[in-house]
Structure 1
């Protein structure tokens, strides 16, 4: 009854707002409310979905995981791999009418790599200088070869915003972001909606067939689906796997799916403040016991209807960077109990934070039940995703279920969270040997050499278990049959180019 009331409440809210929707408006239901709408500050997946309509990047990613021109039309490496020269698209303007020139690109990249508030610093650490060659050409000079750089520029560090708007708004840029994407910012009401309107001066205007995009954060998957079925949404992301059959059976709806680059993982606080001083934070044997107590296949079948890909590594099993010598371990309760006895803590307890979404909470509850059989006492604490991130930034957590949307280069699926200088290394894990391997992996471009190095990385992090990887998601989208032109990409991002409402 509570769930039905919640669904009806969500439906009534959107019905009231839906009456005022303009023609050509695409309404998208998001699982989470994005964090700050500034590429220098953003860290949520929901924010990346909004940015795809708001802020173009230097480079984009295709459905086949190839890099494609967006604001940069071409790029080339120097012979020694220490400089990347990019040719910029002509005729691009920001939403405030300012031209996007090489000087503007330099200003953006300098802000990302040096502004006190920027969280992009680690991603651009290898960049030692940005040079303006001419009005449409920029050169990135590196302190050492850095193979993942193109992948970096295909995400937030490659998003170009108006330097004039940054100068005017400063740290408050996120309140009224000015970019160069197909839609410009109109309004935001926290936990309710983000509204973007079509930018007439967009360089690729012929690919845009919508007047407005409205993003509505709705954490409850059932409420999102109810609103889609009632016509109050046109599309939703992160459909619950258990609802896939309902969408397939509804002639008015369409289901789209793609295996994602990302993963879900248990992130442990092993060195960030007083809350790291717990048995599971101090002793890798207890984390090994937890891993032995769980069954990834059971989690997938019970919570995701078997639609996801169980795994204990950052990369998909068909990736060259997946290490087949480190397979998913089977559940072994006897080993779990033996490890706890060896560690001298047969009934360890810890708080397990999780985003307050039905799927994530259910995943943690399944882990809680399985671990209890080995002797673990887990307290589940569900909270809003941005509040959880702030808590982790403070070190105010013991374990957290992380969901990562994934990147096309393996370095950014590992380093962000467990490199010593990773900007989202909330648990302050630092293994010098892993750090050395990751630094070598970034500095070489030969695929075979990189493969060997990232295989080494797997062997190290799988032993330390500062993070326990659980599964790769299948991105599940549901949308109205009236929406045409949607193309799934393994990064899970909804791109507006080509979308139309019939």
Structure 2
């Protein structure tokens, strides 16, 4: 895999087999097969329940798979390269270093029939920047003011140069929500989502299904390629895998490496095993014991043999992570790899320096089989150096609530889903004002380094600043990087058009029935 600032060549593996018979029960009651009453139906086995269907208030990286059908973004990214390309905005420009101008497409509408114009985009961005319930304020921290400078022209005035904004606007911040719907629902569309995506909302039954229907007025001709989209909530991915093999669903996402062999053997299923920026990691609340002691945080990291961890927990599929970015990504810095590299003797010595024989901490972790296996491997390694984890399993949304918001546990065994621009990840994890900063406190030098990483107009300048960001995080040991995931998706051969992407975030507007 080779990446640079303008091109990212990914050598993909598409493991193909023959054709799957249609006709099993669909995931939702009353919906059968690929061709159902009301048009063509695509059935997806999703691995988590969304935390919300509002991109502004969401708090789980797993939400994106549910948000993309509902909300088109101001700017999009190329799946293979992550380069920004036109979306709702047909073009954008920087007339000067502190001004970004977006020119929207004409005639855009939301699912509720209201106009998606410059005024609507301004209302959305202002809400994302300032609403008390917004969890993406940090993404737009460089924006001082948003102006509707024409019917379809939006001007962002910045506090400082920020070249990361175009890719930031491919993420939650660019998922424009109908301001009419926001007002009608008391400031929240968590359960009443209205966007301008390829699909409109039908229903959400917690822990069961999120259902969508085609948006007939979607601006991009020929999309979506199906009439209905059902996303069945199946937290146990083994069950999701078997549902696709049996024909009960058409797509299964986020397949654990240990389950890939089942899909490989299935006739008529295409398996996509793609490298991604998705980072498995452990969040720590470093504002209170035991993680307010840097010796404990370092010992947590030094005790982990990441090569052995990937082999034992992921069947060897994945890249051991000792920094924020994988080796082939342009923002990776080889010179940082040894800071938290495996050194169990040093880990033991650090624990002894704290004056106790064993350090204990509390944690929440995901409850699926793959997460349990990862946790058991880690706990075995920590036990050898005098660290004990007391872990409670929970759902993604509940775990996020307990750690990030209730702050009732010391740590969270989770991940940071990939972001389109490399500055977004450290900003989300380490930024002083970010809800994902477990300690909710400033890390010396971090905010300035993050700001510098968004200023550079060349890749070289940005990489130098991103290296400093990573060095601070690693030397302060304010997180525990584990591995970069290979994103595995199984798709029934009755459908074509699935496009893998480096973010490991599935999208479905291009997926449609295969030619018979």
Q: What is the TM-score of this pair, normalised by structure 1?
A: 0.93
Distance of 1:419 and 1:32 partners within structure 2: 26
Shift of residue 17 of structure 1? 5.2
Change (3 A) 1:256 1:13: closer
Distance of 2:28 and 2:442 partners within structure 1: 50
Change (3 A) 1:482 1:185: same
**Residue of structure 1 in register with 2:175 after alignment:** 159
Distance of 1:15 and 1:422 partners within structure 2: 37
Contact kept? 1:60, 1:68, Cα under 8 Å: yes
Alignment map for 1:101-112 (pairs within 5 Å): 101-112=117-128
**Residue of structure 2 in register with 1:206 after alignment:** 222
**Cα displacement string for residues 271-317 of structure 1 (whole angstroms, at most 9, x for unaligned residues):** 1xxxx2x23x1211122122222111111111111111111111121
Distance of 2:76 and 2:68 partners within structure 1: 10
**Residue of structure 2 in register with 1:8 after alignment:** none
Distance of 1:120 and 1:47 partners within structure 2: 13
**Residue of structure 2 in register with 1:470 after alignment:** 482
**Residue of structure 1 in register with 2:420 after alignment:** 408
**Residue of structure 1 in register with 2:82 after alignment:** 65
Contact kept? 1:30, 1:46, Cα under 8 Å: no
Distance of 1:142 and 1:435 partners within structure 2: 17
Distance of 2:154 and 2:162 partners within structure 1: 17
Contact kept? 1:18, 1:232, Cα under 8 Å: no
> Which residues of structure 1 form unaligned runs of 5+?
1-10
SS in 2 for 1:175: coil
Alignment map for 1:350-499 (pairs within 5 Å): 350-392=361-403, 393-499=405-511
- Cα RMSD over matched residues? 1.8
**Residue of structure 2 in register with 1:321 after alignment:** 331
Contact kept? 2:28, 2:232, Cα under 8 Å: no
2:346 to 335, 338, 342: 335
Shift of residue 330 of structure 1? 4.5
1:49 to 65, 72, 80: 65
Contact kept? 2:198, 2:223, Cα under 8 Å: no
Change (3 A) 1:17 1:377: farther
Distance of 1:396 and 1:348 partners within structure 2: 18
Alignment map for 1:214-225 (pairs within 5 Å): 214-225=230-241
Q: Does 1:253 align with 2:269?
A: yes
Distance of 2:146 and 2:342 partners within structure 1: 51
**Residue of structure 2 in register with 1:77 after alignment:** 94
Shift of residue 429 of structure 1? 4.3
Q: Does 1:125 align with 2:136?
A: no
Distance of 2:341 and 2:476 partners within structure 1: 18
Shift of residue 346 of structure 1? 2.3
Contact kept? 2:138, 2:427, Cα under 8 Å: no
Would you tell me which structure has more helix in proportion to its own residues? 1
Moved more, 443-452 or 212-221: 443-452
Distance of 1:260 and 1:500 partners within structure 2: 24
Contact kept? 1:337, 1:346, Cα under 8 Å: no
Shift of residue 413 of structure 1? 1.0
Distance of 1:389 and 1:374 partners within structure 2: 28
Q: What is the TM-score of this pair, normalised by structure 2?
A: 0.90
Distance of 1:235 and 1:35 partners within structure 2: 21
SS in 2 for 1:354: strand
Moved more, 437-446 or 395-404: 437-446
2:306 to 296, 304, 310: 296
